[in-house]
Amino acid sequence: MTLQLDARIPTGPLAQKWDKHRFEMKLVNPANKRKNTVIVVGSGLAGGAGAAAMSELGYNVKCFCFQDSPRRAHSIAAQGGINAAKNYQNDGDSVYRLFYDTIKGGDFRSREANVYRLAELSVNIIDQCVAQGVPFAREYGGLLANRSFGGAQVSRTFYARGQTGQQLLLGAYQALERQIKRGGLTMYPRTEMLDLVVIDGKARGIVTRNLVTGKIDSHAAEAVVLATGGYGNVFFLSTNAQGSNATAIWRAYKRGAAFANPCFTQIHPTCIPVSGEYQSKLTLMSESLRNDGRVWVPRVTADKRDPRQIPESERDYFLERKYPSFGNLAPRDIASRAAKEVCDEGRGVGETGLGVYLDFADAIKRLGRGVIYERYGNLFEMYQRITDENPYEVPMRIYPAVHYTMGGLWVDYNLMSTIAGLHVTGEANFSDHGANRLGASALMQGLADGYFVIPNTVGDYLASNRMGKVDTSHPEFKAIEAQVAERTRQLLAIDGTRTVMSFHRELGKIMWDYCGMSRNEAGLETALAKVRDLRQQFWNDVNVPGSDAELNQALEKAGRVSDFLELGELMIIDALHRKESCGAHFREESQTPDGEALRDDENFAYVAAWEYAGEGKAPILNKEPLGFENVKLSRRSYR
């Protein structure tokens, strides 16, 4: 181990840590704030909220995104909702219960202090968003409505129909636009960060490429925040937007930021099944559907009857059978594995046999079609448009798909990485979800990080560190600009025979087959060899048409896929080293007699923070031990 991983968790009782910490953190004098430039890469919920909040405080903020507008960040796709411990339902919820559910949901592989703060801030998020005008669903009496999500027995998920992410993002976007108008925030759309600049051990800026003109530029700052989203697209097929990528965090890793728990990938149980080789994207059917939909398969194998002809006695509602207390709302990792299990037994449905039913017939009978339409109308419409089947009449078919990455850059309690001044927020960091994220908690984390944590902790960093003035004429900026230009030149010069897409698809298949829903040592070793071999082929045989002085999406994709090929290897190495099963990381060698994940707390109750050791060298494993003072480590059971 070479890194000193200091999580800087404040002392004192759990419930007072954040308050005490905020008091103890240093403040930047209001008149001095505008003298500090903060770069925020990403304008999704985490980045947009953080950039707007810091600009509102008076910092000079530069915000970057690769899309043509901040409004197109992938956060817009979030459907189901956002958790908060408001306890409007009076059903027993509390900050502590949300904290406990999240720690347990993550299979005891996250930091208590961070998760408690998240639960605490959840209530402020709802107030902030309501004040912005986010149109959350309401009850008849005017209170905000809630529904249930997996891994919880209370109803604490706030939602705006099936478009919660879009409505929240519109709120953050308007806050961002307000700051742009005021002049304290500059937005750089269609601009991709391609490297991080570290000077005297501190993050001092980024190197970018203008995606329309191809121009390479540098931007200097006193602090950098990465809010660049998740890396699920390593698997090629996922529910993520096509553009979601790992480039910013991967290149920061290669400049010294540790990468934590890279193998922790969430596979979501309710996605529209893969239908053919031509597909490049999978569609999520929100977890909220499991509030009313019942998951089942036929009792016998290879039953090809129309599902409506299969009588109750010949159906297996396997989640209700196996997990009676949580039923269809069992957490995602557990529900996904259960679906895989019945399909592996030959009881899967649909043409490929890789599908299970999500059936609303009972709910429609009980509540009426109108209520189901009101709750899920847009999701039903989306399903029908994609599959040409009417889910009001025939059960939906669903199957697990890659959805979210719990791993990400390692951060301390202040959300600062192992590079001083480089902060990481939202899905791009590893902080709060352990080995499995509960539904509706990513939006909560992104907004907690952005609106409430980072504006305080970046201020503390700036007030505590004296920094010399650095601008983009510094030789380090010039050196990194040259490296970025050279990498681009290399990609264009290969002029091979295979498309970038074909490499991406092949990488995805390796990752899904060997490092997906279940993993074993032999498979992971095979995957390691295959990925290394594929990376070599990529650098010898990829074909990237066009030039670097124009809009060139093949070039953009080539850069991203080249990073996925390296990150994929680190994910496999991490999965190999973690010989226990926990949450979404299911090592076949480590399971209970009834097939559930078997943790090994004695040997693996730590965060694995990988350190880049240089080209061709094995990454170095650093461990942050996880201490549990407030919850008892117990076997996670939803039975």
Ligand X SMILES: Cc1cc2nc3c(=O)[nH]c(=O)nc-3n(C[C@H](O)[C@H](O)[C@H](O)COP(=O)(O)OP(=O)(O)OC[C@H]3O[C@@H](n4cnc5c(N)ncnc54)[C@H](O)[C@@H]3O)c2cc1C
Distances (CA, A) of 446 to 40, 171, 487: 14, 13, 32
Reduced to 3 states (helix: H, G, I; strand: E, B; else coil), residue 333 is: helix
Parallel, antiparallel, or unpaired: how do β-strands 498-499 and 542-543 relate? Answer: parallel
Is the Cβ of residue 107 or residue 287 nearer to ligand X in the bound state? 287
- Please confirm, yes or no, whether 535 is among the known catalytic residues: no
Binds ligand X (CB under 6 A): choice among 3, 9, 77, 354: 77
| Backbone dihedral angles phi then psi of residue 435, each to the nearest 5 degrees | -95, 0
555 binds ligand X (CB under 6 A): no
d(CA 44, CA 42): 6
**Between residue 168 and residue 187, which ones bind ligand X under the rule CB under 6 A?**
none
> In the complex, what is the shortest distance from the CB of residue 149 to ligand X, in angstroms, rounded to a whole number?
8
Give the burial string for 479-489 (b: 16+ CB within 10 Å, else e). ebbeebbebbe
**Between residue 498 and residue 527, which ones bind ligand X under the rule CB under 6 A?**
none
Interface stretch with ligand X, choices 77-85, 92-100, 114-122, 317-325 (CB under 6 A): 77-85
Q: What is the DSSP letter of 328?
A: G
270 binds ligand X (CB under 6 A): no
Instruction: Tell me which of 332, 397, 519, 535 is the catalytic residue.
Output: 332
440 binds ligand X (CB under 6 A): yes
Reduced to 3 states (helix: H, G, I; strand: E, B; else coil), residue 598 is: coil
d(CA 486, CA 473): 19
165 binds ligand X (CB under 6 A): yes
Is the Cβ of residue 227 or residue 342 nearer to ligand X in the bound state? 227
d(CA 242, CA 302): 34
Count of alpha carbons within 13 angstroms of residue 293, beta-carbon side: 30
247 binds ligand X (CB under 6 A): yes
**Between residue 197 and residue 236, which ones bind ligand X under the rule CB under 6 A?**
227-230
Reduced to 3 states (helix: H, G, I; strand: E, B; else coil), residue 210 is: strand
Is the Cβ of residue 263 or residue 527 nearer to ligand X in the bound state? 263
Interface stretch with ligand X, choices 256-264, 338-346, 439-447, 622-630 (CB under 6 A): 439-447
Binds ligand X (CB under 6 A): choice among 5, 51, 61, 82: 82
Is the Cβ of residue 45 or residue 224 nearer to ligand X in the bound state? 45
Strand partners, 192: 209
# residues contacting ligand X (CB under 6 A): 45
101 binds ligand X (CB under 6 A): no
CB 584 within 8 A of CB 571: no
41 binds ligand X (CB under 6 A): yes
102 binds ligand X (CB under 6 A): no
Interface stretch with ligand X, choices 74-82, 259-267, 411-419, 566-574 (CB under 6 A): 74-82
Binds ligand X (CB under 6 A): choice among 36, 75, 261, 436: 75
Residue with token string 């570290």: 198
> In the complex, what is the shortest distance from the CB of residue 270 to ligand X, in angstroms, rounded to a whole number?
10
What is the SS3 string spanning 399-459? EEEEEEECCEECCCCCCECCCECEEECHHHECCCCCCCCCCCCHHHHHHHHHHHHHHHHHH
**Between residue 376 and residue 415, which ones bind ligand X under the rule CB under 6 A?**
403-404
Residues forming the active site: 332
Q: Which residues in this chain contact ligand X in the complex, by CB under 6 A?
A: 41-47, 64-67, 73-75, 77-82, 164-165, 192-193, 227-230, 239-240, 244-245, 247-248, 284, 403-404, 426-428, 440-443, 446
